[in-house]
Structures are given as C-alpha cells and as structure tokens.
Amino acid sequence: MSRIPPEPLRGRGALSLPDNRFEKERREFVTDGNDGPSLDNRTRLIAETARTIITENDSPDVGFSRSVNPYRGCEHGCIYCFARPSHATVGLSPGLDFERTILFKKEAPRLLEGEISHKGYKAVPIALGINTDAYQPVEESLRITRGLLEVLDRASHPVTLVTKSSLIERDLDLLSSMATRRLVHVYISLPTLDEGLSRRLEPRATTPLRRLETLKRLSSVGVPTGVLVAPVIPGLTCHEPESILERAREAGALSAGHILLRLPLEVRDLFSEWLTHHFPDKAASVLSRLREYHGGKLYDARFGVRMRGEGPLAELLSRRMEIAVRRLGFPGLPELDTDLFFPPVRKALSRLFPDFTP
C-alpha cells in the first residue's frame, strides 16, 4: 500500500508508505474523498538483537573495510538516503517507516568490546554510523554511540565518523582525547547551505549553519575534520559545492569530498515523489540532469560509478571540486594510528594481574 497524506507529515521527508519489494502482495490505497484517520507521526523504537556488530566491507568506492551501525533507520528523514531500502529487509517500508520506526542495538558496545578482543584481531579504522547517522536524535537518550566510542577510546582503536548532527559535540571529551593519539576523523555531511531547502531535504537534521558551527568547534579542540558535499543533486544543489567548501575551510575542515545523488531501489520513486511535490516546476529538469550522469538512467549501481557518475558532467563536477580544494588549501587529514591498539580484555587482565603477559 502506498498511502500519501494530504500534506507531508511534520518533520518527515518521505511522503508515503510504499510496500517493500519483498511483499508477495501489492496493495493500493483507495479513498472515497474521506482521508480517514491521519498517519501516526510518532517515532517508535524497537530493540534489535544482534549477534555481531562489526560489518566487513569490500567496496572499492569507500575508504573503509569495517563499519559499525548502532541504528537501523534514521529519524533525520533525509529523502535521498541510500540506506532506505534496508528497511524492507525487516518487513518495513523504506518510506515513512524508515524515519519513524528506528531499530537500535543496545548491546552494541558489549559486542564491539568482545569482537576487538578476539585473538588475532588486527586493528584497522572502524567507520561508525555509515549506513545511518550514529548521532541521530534517539542517540541523545540511548547513548549507544557514546558507549561504542568509550570502548574504542579504552582500546586506543582508530575510528571515523560521518554525521550531520550537532549532537556529536556532546562527546568532545572523548573525541579530543582520541585526537591527541591520532585515533579519530570526523566528517560533517553538508549538501546545501540553503536553510529552506535543507528543512525539506533532511527535516530533522541539524541546520546547515549549525553544522558549520559544529565543524568549527570540533576543529578548535584539535579533532581532525572533513566536509562531505553529499549528495550533490543536479539541478538543485549542484551550484553550491564551492560555497560549501569555502565555509567549511573557514571552519577548520582539513579535507573535502563529494558524492553524487544515489537513487537505488525504492529511493528512486520516493525521491521523485518528493521532488514533484516540493519542486513541481523543477522536477523533470532535475531528473533529466541526473540521467546525464548515468548514461540515460536515474541510477547506475556499478562500483566506481554509483557515487560519482560518469561522462562530461561527472568529470566537470570532480574537476570543480579539485580546483576548489586546491584553491582553498585543504591540507588533508592526518593518518590514523593503528599501532596503539590494545585489546580491552587483555588490558583489563593487565590491570588485575600486573605480571600478566598478553
């Protein structure tokens, strides 16, 4: 069933509840003019039982091989989120369900401590909160990301984070301490500086100007930071990368990158629906421009292409980024240190038994 309320739900990005792709039956919402009761707009939290917490990754498109995701679904409600289709795997809609039904892994810190304590474990940087934001609103009360950082801090294990939330400032004590040991990088995701557009694109995320303040505060205490212009939306935000990079560099960012809008699986129809509702005069143009990056298609899932596109427009965008990065003097992030890692279980044994030999 794909139900579209008369007006967008307050604070939500998606406009509807499409069935997920694994449903055996398809249902349509039929109305006789009476819309009936409104859709429930409350956020629901569901504890998810996990046996493991570290995910291995072999994609050549990203700069990490291991990640940890404490949450499934994201209350930020970014209409463009590539992770929306993952909600279908648990029987939920990638539409509004993705934003209002959040699964959380309460045991994540304990699982992480156990996994990095395994004999033979070799430390490489762990990307924290890649699928969905580790600092989304529910983190303020659940504090799972905080717990994960405490485990990594005790073990001197390197970590990278990507967020669009000022909530990360809560953990400045841990992040600044880890930064002195070259154990952390933080990237702020910033697709636009337009406050009005941001409220529609990512309704419960921190505002763009506030994100720049967060970037500045992190940098001021020595946390190495970068900015991700993500996603770049052809015909809607593609004029902004240079302005975003200028503001981010002023705030102390050391690195910059970009990702082209991705529309896998259900995200294609959800974004098109959103675009037609909010920008009816631009919708056809935006989708047409996006097809120019993918050889006539709205999305190309091939490695090396899905995050950048290909062809003249993709090359021009990458060239613009390169020129701006060079002009603004982004020096790049310092290398993370993996040599300081000490498994937490063995560290605890060493404290209890001074003669203990790892």
Is residue 78 over pLDDT 90? Answer: yes
Instruction: Please give the structure tokens belonging to residue 54.
Output: 């570290």
Q: Report the C-alpha gap between 273 and 279 in whole angstroms.
A: 10
- The region, left, alpha or beta by phi > 0 then psi within -120 to 50, assigned to residue 265 is left
194 found inside a domain: yes
Q: Report the C-alpha gap between 117 and 125 in whole angstroms.
A: 15
- The region, left, alpha or beta by phi > 0 then psi within -120 to 50, assigned to residue 11 is left
Q: Find tokens 């294609």 and name the residue.
A: 268
24 found inside a domain: no
Residue type, 15: L
The residues that bridge with 45 in the sheet, in sequence order, are 102
- What spatial distance separates the first Cα and last Cα of the chain, rounded to whole Å? 57
State mean pLDDT over 147-166. 98
Residue type, 291: R
352 found inside a domain: no
Question: How many domains is the chain built from?
Answer: 1
Q: What is the DSSP letter of 350?
A: H
pLDDT tens-digit series, residues 308-330: 999 999 999 999 999 999 999 99
| Low-confidence winner among 25-34, 68-77, 122-131 (lowest mean pLDDT) | 25-34
Q: What is the DSSP letter of 292?
A: H
pLDDT tens-digit series, residues 249-265: 999 999 999 999 999 99
Instruction: Please give the structure tokens belonging to residue 313.
Output: 């427009």
Of 136 and 349, the structure prediction assigns the larger pLDDT to 136
Secondary structure (DSSP) of 142-191 = H-HHHHHHHHHHHHT--EEEEES-GGGGGGHHHHHHHHTTT-EEEEEE-S
12 found inside a domain: no
Measured from the Cβ of residue 196, the count of other Cβ atoms closer than 10 Å reads 8
Torsion of CA 259, 261, 263, 268, to 10 degrees: 170
Q: Is 43 exposed, middle or buried (0-12, 13-18, 19+ CB in 10 A)?
A: middle
Q: Report the C-alpha gap between 267 and 73 in whole angstroms.
A: 14
Domain range holding 295? Answer: 44-332
Per the CB < 8 A criterion, the answer to whether 13 and 201 are in contact is: yes
| Cα separations in angstroms, 169 against 77, 135, 175, 247 | 21, 10, 9, 19
| Low-confidence winner among 61-70, 79-88, 259-268, 326-335 (lowest mean pLDDT) | 61-70
CATH of the domain at 257: 3.80.30.30
206 found inside a domain: yes
Q: Report the C-alpha gap between 91 and 99 in whole angstroms.
A: 14
- Report phi then psi at 188, rounded to 5: -100, 125
| Cα separations in angstroms, 7 against 15, 16, 25, 159 | 8, 10, 27, 41
Is residue 33 over pLDDT 50? Answer: no
Instruction: Please give the structure tokens belonging to residue 136.
Output: 């989304």
State mean pLDDT over 98-110. 97
State mean pLDDT over 209-215. 98
341 found inside a domain: no
92 found inside a domain: yes
| Low-confidence winner among 164-178, 190-204, 298-312 (lowest mean pLDDT) | 298-312
Q: Report the C-alpha gap between 178 and 159 in whole angstroms.
A: 9
38 found inside a domain: no
Provide CB contacts within 8 A for 27, sequence distance 6+: 1, 19
